[in-house]
Amino acid sequence: MLIFTEDEIRDCVQLDKAVFTSIEKAFTSLAANKVEMPPTLRINIPKNDGEVVLKTAYIPDDPLFAIKVSSGFFRNYMVGLPSMGGLMLLMNAQNGRPEAILYDNGYLTDVRTAVTGAIAANYLANETIDAVGVIGTGSQARLQLKALNVVRNFKRVYAYGRSQKNMFEMKKEIENALQVEVFLAEDAQEVVENSELLITATPSQEAIVKKEWVKRGTHITAVGADAVYKQELDPQLFQKATSIVCDEIEQCRDHGELRIVYEQNVAIDEGKICTLGELILSKGKGRTDENDVTIADLTGTGAQDTQIALFAYKKLTEEK
319 band by pLDDT with thresholds 50, 70 and 90? low
- Looking at the structure, tell me whether residues 98 and 147 fall in a common domain: no
Of the candidates 231, 298, 292, the residue with the CA atom closest to the CA atom of residue 266: 231
- Looking at the structure, tell me whether residues 32 and 171 fall in a common domain: no
- Residue 113 forms part of a structural domain: no
- Looking at the structure, tell me whether residues 88 and 174 fall in a common domain: no
For the chain, the domain total comes to 2
Amino acid letter for position 242:
T
- Looking at the structure, tell me whether residues 158 and 282 fall in a common domain: yes
pLDDT (tens digit, 9 = 90+) per residue, 13-32? 999 999 999 999 999 999 99
> What is the rounded distance in angstroms from the CA atom of residue 224 to the CA atom of residue 232?
7
CATH number, residue 264: 3.40.50.720
- Structural domain that includes position 31: 2-108+303-319
- Looking at the structure, tell me whether residues 71 and 174 fall in a common domain: no
List Cα–Cα distances, 274 to 55, 83, 181, 229, 310, in angstroms: 22, 31, 34, 23, 26
Sheet holding 84-92, edge to edge: 2-4, 98-102, 84-92, 64-73, 50-57, 41-45
Q: Which residues contact 229 (CB under 8 A, 6 or more apart)?
A: 44, 205
pLDDT (tens digit, 9 = 90+) per residue, 239-255? 999 999 999 999 999 99
> What is the rounded distance in angstroms from the CA atom of residue 117 to the CA atom of residue 131?
16
Q: Express as a percent the part of the chain with pLDDT over 90.
A: 90
Q: Which residues contact 188 (CB under 8 A, 6 or more apart)?
A: 135, 160, 208, 209
- Residue 117 forms part of a structural domain: no
C-alpha torsion 265→267→271→273, nearest 10: -50
- Residue 119 forms part of a structural domain: no
Mean pLDDT of 7-12: 96
- Looking at the structure, tell me whether residues 65 and 199 fall in a common domain: no
Of the candidates 187, 241, 232, the residue with the CA atom closest to the CA atom of residue 214: 241
Is the pLDDT reported for residue 190 higher than 60?
A: yes
CATH number, residue 73: 3.30.1780.10
Predicted TM-score (pTM) of this structure: 0.93
Q: Which residues contact 128 (CB under 8 A, 6 or more apart)?
A: none
- Looking at the structure, tell me whether residues 53 and 176 fall in a common domain: no
> What is the rounded distance in angstroms from the CA atom of residue 33 to the CA atom of residue 20?
20
- Looking at the structure, tell me whether residues 158 and 295 fall in a common domain: yes
At residue 320, the pLDDT reads: 53
pLDDT (tens digit, 9 = 90+) per residue, 194-206? 999 999 999 999 9
- Looking at the structure, tell me whether residues 134 and 16 fall in a common domain: no
